[in-house]
Amino acid sequence: MIPELGHFALILAALVSLILGTLPMIGAHTNRQAWIAVARPAATALAMLVTFSFACLTQAFVANDFSVVYVAQHSNSLLPIEYRVAGVWGGHEGSLLLWILMLTWWAFLVAVFSRELPDTMVARVLATLGLVGFGFLLFILLTSNPFERLLPGAAEGRDLNPLLQDPGLVIHPPLLYMGYVGFSVAYAFAIAALLSGKLDAAWARWSRPWTMAAWIFLTLGIAMGSWWAYYELGWGGWWFWDPVENASFMPWLIGTALIHSLAVTEKRGSFKNWTVLLAISAFSLSLLGTFLVRSGVLTSVHAFATDPRRGIFILIFLVAVIGASLTLFAARAPKVGLGGRFGLISRESLLLTNNVLLVVACATVLLGTLYPLLIDALGVGKISVGPPYFNAVFVPVMSPILFLMGVGPFARWKEASIPEIAKAVKWALAVGVIVAIALPLLYGQWYAMTALGIFFATWIVVTALLNFIERVQHTRAGRGFLATAASQPRSFVGMHLAHIGVAVFVVGVTMVGSYQDEKDVKMAPGESVDVAGYHFTFNGVKAVEGPNYVAAQGDFDLAVNGQFVRKMNPEKRNYHSSAMPMTEASIDAGLLRDVYVSLGEPIDRDKPEGEWAVRVYYKPFVDWIWGGCVLMSVGGLIAMLDRRYRVKARAAANLPAGTQEA
Amino acid sequence: MNRYYWILGAFAALVALLAVGLNLNPREVPSPLVGKPAPAFTLAQLAEPDKTLSPKDMQGKVWLFNVWSSWCVSCRQEHPVLVEFSKKVDVPLIGLNYKEVRGDGGFDMGKMSAEDEKKLAWERANSWLSQHGNPYKLTVMDLDGRVGIDYGVYGVPETYVIDKAGIIRMKHTGPITPEILSKKIMPLLAELNK
Amino acid sequence: MKTRHKKLALIGGALAIIGIIAALVLNALNSNIALYITPTEVAAGKAPQGKLFRIGGLVKEGSIQRQADGVTISFVITDTAKDIPVAYKGILPDLFKEGKGAVAQGKLDGAGTFVATEVLAKHDENYMPPEAAKAVSDAQAGMSANQHVSPSSAEAAKTGN
């Protein structure tokens, strides 16, 4: 009964979303207040209905209702309760439901936190979100109904993919989808602005916090996924340039460009067309990612099993949404003013360069991702594009961005002078070069790439500090230094914190890439192996039992300089009712390094108590990779909470369009 | 027309590529076996383990060959359709039980003898059929999945239509729905039995 | 005049950047893509010499062997028509199993052994990596088109028993 209620709620939701997508839109166009007023209540009702539907599916999982096909395929009565809940989004249908849940929540939040916006604007934004939601609800109802019944019901479920039975999965997809889907708000704002013809500073200011929120979630979601792959897949890698990863990384790159471009549009009124195009692109790439992951056109470790109808549906949806948006853009863009003029060297031009580079970076990822498809489509053969391609392209494209990150904050709007900037950053340059030369030498081995990475990281941190100090000195006006520092605008503090996050990330990537060490060895009980000064002694393997699996658990002693540090217990798990064994690595995490042990397989299958193939890793600074991402997100959060997004919004809305362009 | 329309052109090119891509890897991989003789095998029967069956025993008849397993959830979905079919239509339906034990991850095959595997497979397959009904004229047991490989089994369930001359005329991957049965399989059977 | 110069400089700069990037991308694509080749094509001598490529197919039953060092593994990848011996040093992915689909990336050595630097496996009873699935179906298409079974595939068919 409950699954039917959930299904029914979804059908109602589709109707409500259609109403939300049409009435307020027409109302805003023809200025009918009653129709415009439908937007907020409809968005609220939509969110309630989808939430209810989602709750119904969750209930089916919690109650082990194996008469629902989706539950039977992704759960099991032995599955611990937290994974039964996470199992809701462990497969195609449920994760799509999560997607639409996020979308309706975003729409609901816009409805709640938009009191200071003009009603027609809100109506258009919510209607756009409603139309997107309608498309996805149709997709679920027509091709991917999670409530489909299995009659007679199964006695037992097939279990959740063991790879996904991990705390990481409980939060990774929701975070990622919040980010993916969150860009729909920036997109809806852009569409609403195009429709109204008012692409002004107020529009940019309204979009900024929403875009930032989506970007924060996406950053955390991607970092979470990377961390999960690192400890769960047992290969010690943190990024594989897998199509599914790329699908989330492309919107991130464009989203990052969008955040910077919105800043220019808000402050100076420039780049308006460009900003709108980025807002459309960020969400379009989210949709494209959904298509790539769910249609099966690309081979991927993560790809969901596919059904051609789904691919066709998303493709049609993609064409409708993106095609319509781009057409609207192309029609309206020529009429949009250019905005404030700026010099060849100015903060605007530096941010524009940053934007171009980010977009180019995104294009190279897109090319690498689609290239196998292109070659296959041309009938030339089947190929794969591996990480070496991405690494070879990415480092040169990203390097100038990292450099500009140090320069940009010093450049004035409109017209900046190179000597002035040079004077401000010369010490940062000196410190960067010294650290870049010295640090790798201290680590024992000097590589050019290591020095480059360390230089950029140092450069970013020192310039950020210098810039912060400079600003505090300028705005002191007789107050104490610390008091002035504490009263700096949040967007300014947030920006530098996020930039320092990038530096931390760069340190992690550089150090792991340069100094990591790994060994694959055969070990008999009592034997030991050394990696980078860490001494691992293997004491053997014993059988242990988990709630829904049996495992061979290795027993290792980790010692440094003859000093016992800790026990490490990697496992090889065999889940009941699943053909797949799972490697659970054991990781000793630290601020400056991780050491990592994972069990391969027994040398002789009949003697698990004997010799094993074992993999040990030394990973310097690896946690800085995710730490950097967290810092970026915190920086974003601080910037998002800047006072002016709340206080001035109303005032700005009342300004006639174009005032800011003077 | 203005200079912004090139974006639409780029997008159209992308869509074209994706549309072509969609056709390259559909789940219904056209089986190279369609139009070719059904690969030979000799496998033990479920009902009478001492007897075997080969495709040539079916020569002169149009028959359906359905790959199933007790651990396969989608098989459960299509099973009522098959049971219904077997009651109404006089076309022999032969089951191929695919990797009954090995396909199920709950067992450590390193620790199981061939005898144990056989015993367990027969037990499981029989109890599944007695629980859900037996639409099959008979079922043969492909314990190690070797015959499945010869037939190019991508996933369970799969169904083959084989004609009087032993040629595969159709392959369906995934569960059979009443729609597929009535729109595709039944007309084909009628035509072949003419 | 001045704004015109600025504009030209901007456009020139952008074009230069795009040109450099395009060169980078083409270069990287040229040297870093791995062609996908089936065992039958390898046996027919169609594999590039000294270049990275991928092969896909099924891991032949009973072919996995471990060398004395414990971490070098040899096995045979087959598309049911032709067999290619593969050597791999390292830990195999969890899903790697005999009789299941796998894709290996590496180079051919002088003796015709494929030395893999990377082995990918994906398996779930309802799924085979598309590359592996393609290899098997290609090989079957070839076999049945010739209307005879080559000795190596007959052998492949027998090894399971």
| Nearest chain B Cα distance for residue C96, angstroms | 13
Interface test with C, best of A389, A397, A403 (most C CBs within 10 A): A389
Contact yes or no for A615 and C91 at CB 8 A: yes
Interface test with C, best of A382, A519, A571, A580 (most C CBs within 10 A): A382
B2: confidence class by pLDDT, cuts 50, 70, 90: low
Q: What is the average pLDDT across A105-111?
A: 95
Whether residue C137 is predicted with pLDDT greater than 60 in this model: the reply is: no
Contact yes or no for B4 and A334 at CB 8 A: yes
Contact yes or no for B24 and A72 at CB 8 A: no
Same domain, C24 and C46: no
Contact yes or no for A326 and B7 at CB 8 A: yes
Distance CA C35, CA C32 (A): 10
What pLDDT, on a 0 to 100 scale, did the predictor assign at position A580? 64
Q: What is the average pLDDT across A593-599?
A: 89
Give per-residue pLDDT as tens, A371-403.
Answer: 888 887 787 777 778 788 888 888 888 999 999
Distance CA A154, CA B73 (A): 8
| Nearest chain B Cα distance for residue A84, angstroms | 18
Contact yes or no for B149 and C126 at CB 8 A: no
Residue range(s) defining the domain that contains residue C23: 1-33
Phi, psi of A212 (to 5 degrees): -60, -45
What pLDDT, on a 0 to 100 scale, did the predictor assign at position A578? 59
Whether residue A302 is predicted with pLDDT greater than 70 in this model: the reply is: no
Q: A146 and A140 in contact (C-beta within 8 Å)? A: yes
Rounded to a whole number, what is the distance in angstroms from the first to the last CA of chain B?
Answer: 61
Same domain, C28 and C78: no
Which domain CATH number covers C92? 2.40.50.140
Q: Point out the residue among C80, C128, C157 whose CB comes nearest to the CB of B154.
A: C128
Distance CA A37, CA A44 (A): 12
Same domain, C94 and C18: no
If you measure CA to CA, which chain A residue comes closest to C28? A389
Name all chains with 3 or more CB-CB pairs below 8 Å to chain A. Answer: B, C
Same domain, C75 and C152: yes
Phi, psi of A646 (to 5 degrees): -95, -45
Rounded to a whole number, what is the distance in angstroms from the first to the last CA of chain A?
Answer: 63
Contact yes or no for B21 and A158 at CB 8 A: no
Same domain, C128 and C152: yes
Q: Point out the residue among A368, A392, A613 whose CB comes nearest to the CB of C91.
A: A613
What pLDDT, on a 0 to 100 scale, did the predictor assign at position C32? 75
What pLDDT, on a 0 to 100 scale, did the predictor assign at position A647? 54
Contact yes or no for C28 and A392 at CB 8 A: yes
Would an 8 Å CB–CB cutoff place B21 in contact with chain A?
yes
Q: Looking at per-residue confidence, does C156 or B188 come out higher?
A: B188
Q: Looking at per-residue confidence, does C96 or C86 come out higher?
A: C86
Looking at A211-225, A438-452, C46-60, which range is the least confident one?
C46-60
Contact yes or no for A522 and C18 at CB 8 A: no
Contact yes or no for A315 and B132 at CB 8 A: no
Distance CA A435, CA A503 (A): 14
Helix A119-143 and helix A39-62: axis angle, to 10°? 30
Q: A50 and A13 in contact (C-beta within 8 Å)? A: yes
Q: What are the C-alpha distances in Å from B105 to residues A243, B69, B100, B102, C67? A: 28, 13, 10, 7, 27
Q: C91 and A613 in contact (C-beta within 8 Å)? A: yes
Q: What is the average pLDDT across A527-547?
A: 89
Q: What is the average pLDDT across A451-474?
A: 94
- How many CB atoms are located within 10 Å of the residue B191 CB? 11
Over pLDDT 70: what percentage of chain A? 94
Give per-residue pLDDT as tens, A565-580.
Answer: 899 999 888 877 555 6
SS3 of residue A652 by DSSP: helix
Interface test with C, best of B36, B43, B173 (most C CBs within 10 A): B36
Contact yes or no for B29 and C133 at CB 8 A: yes
Set of chain A residues whose Cβ sits within 8 Å of the Cβ of C21: 360, 364, 393, 396-397
Looking at A115-124, A159-168, A242-251, A255-264, which range is the least confident one?
A159-168
Looking at A290-304, B142-156, C56-70, which range is the least confident one?
A290-304
Same domain, C5 and C40: no
Set of chain A residues whose Cβ sits within 8 Å of the Cβ of B15: 315, 318-319, 323
The response to whether C36 counts as a known ligand-binding position is no
Q: What is the average pLDDT across B139-159?
A: 81
Concatenated DSSP letters for chain B?
--TTHHHHHHHHHHHHHHHHHHHHS-SSPPPTTTTSBPPP--EEBSS-TT-EE-GGGGTTS-EEEEEE-TT-HHHHHHHHHHHHHHHH--S-EEEEEE-TTTTSTTS-GGG--HHHHHHHHHHHHHHHHHHH----SEEEEETTSHHHHHTT--SSSEEEEE-TTSBEEEEEESPPPHHHIIIIIHHHHHHHT-
Same domain, C28 and C70: no
Q: What is the average pLDDT across B132-138?
A: 90
Give the pair of three-digit tokens for residue B74.
């989608």
Helix (H) or strand (E) run with residue A81 in it: helix A81-87
Long-range CB contacts for residues C120-124, cutoff 8 Å, separation at least 24: C120/A301, C120/C93, C121/C92, C121/C93, C121/C94, C121/C95, C121/C96, C121/C97, C122/A301, C122/C95, C123/A579, C123/A580, C123/C95, C123/C97, C124/A161, C124/A305, C124/A579, C124/A580
Phi, psi of C37 (to 5 degrees): -130, 140
Distance CA A492, CA A486 (A): 11
Q: Point out the residue among C24, C71, C125 whose CB comes nearest to the CB of A520.
A: C71
| Nearest chain B Cα distance for residue A329, angstroms | 8
SS3 of residue A655 by DSSP: coil
Helix A387-407 and helix A347-377: axis angle, to 10°? 170
Whether residue C98 is predicted with pLDDT greater than 60 in this model: the reply is: yes
Whether residue A296 is predicted with pLDDT greater than 70 in this model: the reply is: no
Q: Looking at per-residue confidence, does A503 or A293 come out higher?
A: A503
Give the closest residue to A466 by CA, choosing from A422, A423, A424.
A424
Interface of C with A in 131-160 (CB under 8 A): 131, 134
Same domain, C22 and C91: no
- Tell me the average pLDDT of chain C: 70
Same domain, C14 and C88: no
Same domain, C103 and C60: yes
Chain A / chain C CB contacts < 8 angstroms: 109
Give the pair of three-digit tokens for residue A592.
């400056």
Q: What is the average pLDDT across A167-181?
A: 86
- Specify which residues A614 forms β-bridges with: A521, A599
Q: Point out the residue among B25, B33, B145 whose CB comes nearest to the CB of C144.
A: B33
Looking at A212-226, A311-325, A598-612, A630-644, which range is the least confident one?
A598-612
Rounded (to 5) percent helix, strand, coil in chain C: 40, 30, 35
| Nearest chain C Cα distance for residue B100, angstroms | 11
Contact yes or no for B106 and A326 at CB 8 A: no
Burial of A661 (0-12, 13-18, 19+ CB in 10 A): middle
Q: What is the average pLDDT across A152-167?
A: 74
Same domain, C29 and C47: no
Distance CA B146, CA A396 (A): 50
Burial of C140 (0-12, 13-18, 19+ CB in 10 A): buried
Give per-residue pLDDT as tens, B33-72.
Answer: 677 788 889 999 988 888 889 988 888 889 999 999 887 7
Q: Point out the residue among B145, B152, B155 whose CB comes nearest to the CB of C126.
A: B155
Pairing of strands C83-89, C65-66: unpaired
Interface of A with B in 618-647 (CB under 8 A): none
Same domain, C141 and C77: yes
Interface of A with B in 457-476 (CB under 8 A): none
Give the closest residue to A462 by CA, choosing from A510, A418, A430.
A430
Helix A347-377 and helix A272-295: axis angle, to 10°? 30
Give per-residue pLDDT as tens, A121-152.
Answer: 999 999 999 999 999 999 999 988 999 887 77
Contact yes or no for A377 and B71 at CB 8 A: no
- How many CB atoms are located within 10 Å of the residue A511 CB? 25
CA A268 from centre of chain: 29
Give the closest residue to B147 by CA, choosing from B97, B111, B85, B103.
B97
Contact yes or no for C137 and B103 at CB 8 A: no
SS3 of residue A64 by DSSP: coil
Domains and CATH numbers, chain B: 31-192 (3.40.30.10)
Give the pair of three-digit tokens for residue B18.
């994706």
Distance CA A238, CA A224 (A): 10
Distance CA A549, CA A542 (A): 14
What pLDDT, on a 0 to 100 scale, did the predictor assign at position A575? 77
- DSSP H stretches of helix in chain C: 2-32, 39-43, 130-146, 151-159
Would an 8 Å CB–CB cutoff place B26 in contact with chain A?
yes
Distance CA A251, CA A191 (A): 18
Report the number of distinct structural domains present in chain C. Answer: 2
Set of chain A residues whose Cβ sits within 8 Å of the Cβ of B5: 330
Which residue, chain included where needed, has tokens 């969008």?
Answer: A258
Contact yes or no for C28 and A234 at CB 8 A: no
Over pLDDT 90: what percentage of chain A? 46
SS3 of residue A411 by DSSP: coil
B32: confidence class by pLDDT, cuts 50, 70, 90: low
Pairing of strands B93-98, B138-142: parallel
Distance CA A286, CA A214 (A): 12
Q: What are the C-alpha distances in Å from C69 to residues A269, A508, A608, B69, C66? A: 67, 33, 17, 40, 8
A26: confidence class by pLDDT, cuts 50, 70, 90: very high
Interface of A with B in 298-317 (CB under 8 A): 298, 305-308, 311-312, 315
